[in-house]
Amino acid sequence: MHISYPPDLPISGRRDDIADAIRDHQVVVLAGETGSGKTTQLPKICLALGRGQGGSHGQGGSAGRIGHTQPRRLAARTVAARIAEELGTELGDVVGWKVRFTDQVSPSTRIKVMTDGILLAELTSDRMLLQYHTLIIDEAHERSLNIDFILGYLKRLLPKRPDLKLIITSATIDPARFAAHFGTPGRGTAAGEAGGVGRTQPAPIIEVSGRTYPVELRYRPVVDPDDPKAEERDQAEAIVDAVRELTAEGPGDVLVFLPGERDIRDIQDALADAVRRGLLADTEILPLFARLSTADQLRVFAPHPGRRVVLATNVAETSLTVPGIKYVVDPGLARISRYSHRTKVQRLPIEKVSQASAAQRAGRCGRTSDGICIRLYAEDDFDARPEFTDPEILRTNLASVVLRMIALGFGEVGDFPFLDPPDRRAVTDGVNLLHELGALDAEQRITAVGRALERLPIEPRFARMLIEAGRNGCVAELLIIVAGMSIQDPRERPAGVDRAATADAADQSHARFADPRSDFVSYLNLWRYLEQRREELTGNQFRRMCRAEHLHYLRIREWQDLHGQLRRVLRELDISPNAEPADPRTVHQSLLAGLLSHIGLQIEKPNGETTRRRPDRNAYLGARNASFAIFPGSALFRRPPRWVMAAELVETSRLWARTVARIEPEWIEPLATHLVRSTFSEPHWSAKHGAVMAHERVTLYGVPIVADRLVNYAGVDPELARELFIRHALVQGEWQTSHAFWESNRALLDQVDEWEQRARRRDIMVDEQTLFDFYDRRVPGNVVSARHFDRWWGRVRQETPELLDLCMADLTTGVDGVSESEYPSFWTTSTPGVGEPARLIVHYEFEPGTPTDGLSVDIPLAVLPSVDEDDFGWQVPGHREELVTALIRGLRKDLRRNFVPVPDTVRTALALLDPTRGSLLDELSRVLRELHGVTVPRDAWRFDRVPEYLRLNFRVLDADGAVLATGADLGALRQLLAGRTRAAVAAAAPELERTGLVAWPSRAELPQTVRRDIGGHPVTGYPALVDEGASVAIRVLSTPAEQRAAMWAGTRRLLLLGGPSPVRQV
């Protein structure tokens, strides 16, 4: 191994100063532009100092490796290879490298080049970083999450490892921040400092200049704010004008910075049009962005004739050095990834770049010769911009960092010595995401799921999907999908002058793998296709096939490698892939476990003038009231479903959902039991369910996943459920049960209720609260439903069967004046001259304002002719005083004044009234005449002034008990039902009725009356001869009057027919 330093690199001239600083200080900051050689030469300077002897750190000495971090995997591999080449050793020997899932480090390795993520992961098993003697954190100015976390951790670790050397390399962007962060307490120097401890001494900074040339800055705002007469133009026209201005300066390529791929294509079209119009001669236009295919990216670095205009995103700002660039056009804009605290999604808004980024862009044209940079904004605008771009830790979700800190026991994020402490809202959002994924419990302690997520070196959402897949038996499918989403999409969409045709061809080729219900399934379809083709083709044929079908071969290899590496990690977690294909439902349920805050419900909007609502075709309500749309590139864009989940939500011109799938809302709640919020409305007793039920509305981050579900309310509010159970089931009787106490209590309650109906009082039965208190004292607190009650009562009734029995004293406040004699259940009445009286059922109803309020008497149809109408005028004894009072008060004033005070007159009259002497009105007139000497004419009594409830209502029933007619006028009912009444009476003696008689019947054939019992009621019929013209019939009639009239006509007819009279001639 031979250590040498290329003399053309600026760092080689400062290696002695650098070595001295490393020897004398624990932390050194090295600032240098790209091309200074710091990345490849620093490890060799450390080797020359005797550091990095290999093995692990011991007591004293210089054992331990030189760790060298890079922000990107590709850089780690190329840097390691370059250092090994310069040292004249094989890669993997003295110089090794390690990136995610790839480890080429041996026991003899002294310099270990790795991504910063690898160093971070090693903290899990090596908290003191004992395998390292020196650490070089390269490109620290990029301030990625990993870099900031490592620097914060090292801030704590260095005092415990005084032998550990730390070298931080940075572009010339604010190196003093790093120096101050790792400052050490110095000696007091100011007068009056008593303790000898002074201000903190920052770590030394060594600046190494890059190979740069002067760059002329020209400010050409799109619209000059200082020139009101300036021509209006848009950004595309301004860029074309700037390119034309630069091409007039002489040969050299132009680099144009643009915010994104769409902008690049718009400018590409504008420049191509300028070429066609002859405004730009001999000019090649090339795009450069991250999603571009490798072949198209490599065209930027290939030799070329003529002039080249490269249209690039900020990937060309620091990550890539484009050769031959002499001119730069900088619109001053870029898409900056930012986390939105409002929508909880990562946004990519277009923002003005910082002064530091603008300087980096301008520096791209001063690498090989003098350059010119045209800025499409005013110099005042530049001066007003922030000096530096916010570090990633201030712009991103911190879930991974928080999880790792908790797993490593590093304490609160707010107490961690970050270079720039993250916003507390960002920390809270990171914690909330981990809580969403089930990685942390309510007390922010790491769960079993969280420990599994921490071991999977992928984004926490994706890791959560794999854990759920292990439970659902679909690991094989999820490994493919998650690995595919973790890399850059292998499906290429070409760019170039003829991109329209080739892009269409690419789209058609990729459409084979699309699924109309899920973009995630396209990964499975593509994977299976590639597996099949790999088996059929040789390696070269497979690569050519990928190129022809617009598939990125290297990304496919990366996909396959990551798939295998994730599979190995899952095996360590005892999660094995399934052998048989999984149900697509379980696949998407597993995906949903990591995307609970990325669900969406199609928004409904008013449908014209109607009250109905219809879905808004591509507008979704997302978490926390966010509104998003399905990205046009999705297979679901043309037919958006009602419910979707999205792999990512990115805000550009609007909030777009990328990689989406249709889901069923019932999948969500089982995965989000720790996140959903339920609101309950209308708790009510349900006799059908034997429990208190309520309507539940379930939301997840404000999205309603259950709109109106009927649930048992006992689990929500057992106290209220118990109260409603007692009130409705036990007190009000809304329950179907066969318990003996229940039937006994209901019978008593019905009896008391009947008393109240008859007496028209509401003060006989105790109130519901008294009954509630009765049961409340006896039923235990855990009985909240019929099921609970049955279980409890089944045990208790064995010892105290009378515990819940009510007695009359429990139910009434007093029943004085309420008796069967005052309010009879049956009305006994008959027509004078008719045999035994009829016993009619009386109904009492105390419902003022209803047609049935008062007394109703049921009269069987066959009995209707025989009841005494005057008898019903007396009312029942309990209401008679009220009736008489109403009748007297209804008299004309000249009559009424003779009976005042009315109450006294009524009480005296009632004692003298005799119901057996006739109608109430006649008897009342007689008594009043005797008492006061005043005669009340029959027509002076006004029943129309008597309250409705004091007038009897009659219900006429047929033989089956059905109501034929109702009314208060008995005569009108008889007339209405005369025909049906005669038929009913005739049915009592059908054997007597005959027709076609021309001779006199015998006495046996024509009795004076017939008596039968119909439905428990005595019915009397009156047989008679009925004249039918050519003959005579025997009919059973309803009343004696009908009999007399019919007999006269029937007898006359028989005499006319010439039949011998049964009467002997004298």
- What DSSP line would sit under 557-599, residue for residue? HHHHHHHHHHHHHHHHTT----SSPPPHHHHHHHHHTT-GGGE
What's the CA gap between 922 and 900, in Å, rounded? Answer: 20
Reduce the DSSP state of residue 145 to 3 states and report it. Answer: helix
Q: ∠563-565-568 over CA atoms, to 5°?
A: 110
Q: Is this model's pTM higher than 0.85 or not?
A: no
What's the CA gap between 63 and 439, in Å, rounded? Answer: 38
What's the CA gap between 439 and 702, in Å, rounded? Answer: 22
Per-residue pLDDT tens digits for 438-488: 999 988 899 999 999 988 878 889 999 999 999 999 999 999 999 998 877
Task: List the domains of the chain with CATH numbers.
Answer: 10-186+199-208 (3.40.50.300), 215-334+352-390 (3.40.50.300), 596-675 (no CATH)
Which residues contact residue 876 at a Cβ distance below 8 angstroms, ignoring those fewer than 6 apart? 822, 823, 824, 827, 842, 855
Cβ atoms 1054, 1000 nearer than 8 A? yes
Q: Which residue has the tokens 């026209």?
A: 237
Cβ atoms 72, 80 nearer than 8 A? no
Fill in the DSSP letter of residue 663.
-
Reduce the DSSP state of residue 73 to 3 states and report it. Answer: helix
What's the CA gap between 600 and 617, in Å, rounded? Answer: 13
Fill in the DSSP letter of residue 421.
P
Fill in the DSSP letter of residue 281.
-
Confidence (pLDDT) at 992: 85
What's the CA gap between 267 and 33, in Å, rounded? Answer: 30
Q: Distance between alpha carbon 310 and the CA centroid of its chain, in Å? A: 47
Residue 937: both structure tokens together = 């004419």
Confidence (pLDDT) at 1062: 55
Nearest to 959 by CA among 980, 990, 989: 980
- Residues of the chain scoring pLDDT < 50: 57-62, 187-198, 497, 609-611, 1064-1066
Output the 3-class SS for 817-882. CCCCCCCCCEEEECCCCCCCCEEEEEEEECCCCCCCCEEEEEEECCCHHHCCHHHHCCCCHHHHHH
- What DSSP line would sit under 681-707, residue for residue? EEEEEETTTTEEEEEEEEEETTEEEEE
| Helix spans in 184-260 (H) | 235-247
CA distance to 225, 232, 242, 624, 850, per residue, from 218 (Å): 15, 19, 10, 46, 95
Burial 178-197 (b: 16+ CB within 10 A, else e): bbebbeeeeeeeeeeeeeee
What's the CA gap between 930 and 183, in Å, rounded? Answer: 126
Any idea of the CA torsion for 577, 583, 584, 585, to the nearest 10 degrees?
Answer: -110
Question: What residues does 614 pair with on adjacent strands?
Answer: 605
Q: ∠680-685-691 over CA atoms, to 5°?
A: 90
CA distance to 526, 539, 872, per residue, from 544 (Å): 17, 9, 110
Confidence (pLDDT) at 62: 43
Cβ atoms 208, 40 nearer than 8 A? no
Output the 3-class SS for 249-269. CCCCEEEEECCCHHHHHHHHH
Which residues contact residue 618 at a Cβ distance below 8 angstroms, ignoring those fewer than 6 apart? 629, 630, 637, 640
Cβ atoms 86, 40 nearer than 8 A? yes
What's the CA gap between 584 and 477, in Å, rounded? Answer: 9
What's the CA gap between 238 and 271, in Å, rounded? Answer: 11
Burial 122-134 (b: 16+ CB within 10 A, else e): bbeeeeebebbbb
Nearest to 679 by CA among 693, 696, 700, 665: 696
Which residues contact residue 854 at a Cβ distance below 8 angstroms, ignoring those fewer than 6 apart? 844, 845, 948, 949, 950, 951, 952, 953
Peptide bond preceding 901 in cis form (omega within 30 of 0): yes
What's the CA gap between 375 and 385, in Å, rounded? Answer: 13
Cβ atoms 433, 649 nearer than 8 A? no
Per-residue pLDDT tens digits for 119-164: 988 887 888 999 999 999 998 888 888 898 899 999 999 999 999 9
1004-1007 LR contacts (CB < 8 Å, sep 24+) = 1005/1034, 1006/1034
Q: Which residue has the tokens 């208790």?
A: 796
